């Protein structure tokens, strides 16, 4: 869907250009403006949970990068279909890792 592709593009742009908390706050506003409230709240809950899992990576071996590999295909699902999935996976992984690592700022 168009909204998801727009968000993926914005996240891609911000991932490569984030250099301050100001940029993270801009990302926060974009997500809040573009997502329906129920989707925003669900993403917030999920990312906070994944962040807590990553905080215990010394026990469970699930750093944010590992969690991103597992959850990126679901969170950043492509509208095109499975043939496009593998080509987008590295970007999706980086974006979900960013969201996990910065969720306390983005979803405060």
Q: Which pLDDT belongs to residue 57?
A: 96
- d(CA 70, CA 64) in angstroms, rounded, equals 10
Identify the band that residue 3 occupies on the pLDDT scale cut at 50, 70 and 90.
Answer: low
Q: Read out DSSP for 84-95?
A: HHHHHHHHHHHH
Identify the band that residue 6 occupies on the pLDDT scale cut at 50, 70 and 90.
Answer: low
Q: Read out DSSP for 21-84?
A: HHHHHHHHHHHHHHS-HHHHHHHHHHHHHHHHHHHTHHHH---HHHHHHHHHHHHT--SS-HHH
- d(CA 10, CA 71) in angstroms, rounded, equals 19
């Amino acid at each position: 869907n168009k909204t998801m592709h727009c968000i993926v593009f914005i996240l891609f742009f911000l991932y490569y250009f984030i250099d301050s908390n100001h940029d993270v706050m801009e990302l926060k506003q974009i997500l809040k403006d573009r997502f329906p409230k129920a989707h925003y709240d669900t993403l917030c809950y999920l990312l906070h949970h994944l962040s807590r899992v990553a905080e215990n990576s010394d026990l469970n071996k699930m750093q944010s990068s590992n969690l991103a590999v597992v959850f990126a295909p679901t969170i950043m699902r492509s509208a095109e279909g499975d043939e496009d999935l593998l080509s987008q996976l590295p970007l999706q992984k980086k974006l979900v890792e960013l969201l996990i690592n910065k969720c306390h700022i983005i979803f405060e």
